[in-house]
Amino acid sequence: MSDERRSIDRLISRDYGPLTGLAIPGLPVWHRFFKRTGGYGIPPYESLNTAFRTQDPKAAENRQLLFAETGLADLPVRILNPCHGSKIAFVRKTDWQSRRQDVLIETDAAFTETPETFFLVSTADCIPAIFTDISMSFGGVVHLGWRNLVNSFAADVVQELEKKYAVSPSSLWVGLGPAIYPCCYLFKDPVQKNDPFWKPFLKDVKDGETAIDLVSALKHQLVTAGIPEGQILESGVCTGCRNDLFFSCYKEGYVSGRFPTLVGLRPV
């Protein structure tokens, strides 16, 4: 059995009607990374595509299905519409009370201190990173791709959490969901090759290709920002290797769908 297959077997899984959500053991906040199966979409969005940034006419229907099957249809939810940028949203109790569900436009990170509230982000190769602390004084999610990683977005998030919620970086826990790993993230002539930031995370492999290690780059930023390495937990699932279970833009092209990640400020 391959390493990536074992990594999936280590995850906690639960069926929600036709949908299957995976969780990282040990991460103290409720979360699920949902497989691409069980939705309404047809190729190239087959089938549980929940992203705004696609032309899939079934995406909204898939979001409604996801909320219905997970019991969130009548609960407060914010849907992130990420853009590989640097916008961070802090959603207050009054915000949740004024609008039960809303979209956070061009927002790549969102957090709250309000219990029983939830965030949804949809990805395909980029890293969905869940943040909390051991006491769950807050919870949230960050969308991380190579563009905002190189701009130190992860470190900025840690700094903003420290200022906003008065939490020490050493108290933070982070869970990294399914994302593309260097085994599959290969290019002949990557744009990152001349960038000093990326040099430690690039490796020359066969046939003149270069492997890019997004996950290691993120973990380096988080550890440098003060988060203990043992409090950074990985799903270990490569979206390229398991394109049968998760969408992958690299494998399918940018017209692929995006699978949903949910995080809620409630106990696991």
pLDDT number for residue 254:
81
CA atoms within 13 A on the CB side of 13: 13
Q: Which residues pair with 245 in a beta bridge?
A: none
The CATH superfamily assigned to 3-181+228-267 is: CNF1/YfiH-like putative cysteine hydrolases (3.60.140.10)
- DSSP string covering 114-162: -TT-EEEEEESSSEEEEEEETT-S-EEEEEE-HHHHHTTHHHHHHHHHH
pLDDT at 4 over 80: no
Neighbours of 5 (CB within 10 A): 11
User: Could you give the CA distance from residue 142 to residue 241 in angstroms, rounded to a whole number?
Assistant: 23
pLDDT at 50 over 70: yes
Terminus-to-terminus CA distance in the chain, angstroms?
29
Of 82, 80, 131, nearest in space to 102 by CA = 80
- DSSP string covering 40-102: S--TTSTTT---SSS--TTHHHHHHHHHHHHT-TTS-EEEEE--SS--EEEE-HHHHHH-SEE
Q: Supply the pTM of this predicted model.
A: 0.95
Mean pLDDT of 190-196: 89
pLDDT at 30 over 70: yes
Of 70, 67, 57, 164, nearest in space to 109 by CA = 164
pLDDT, tens digit, for every residue of 114-128? 999 999 999 999 999
The mean pLDDT of the chain is 95
pLDDT, tens digit, for every residue of 54-71? 889 999 999 999 999 999
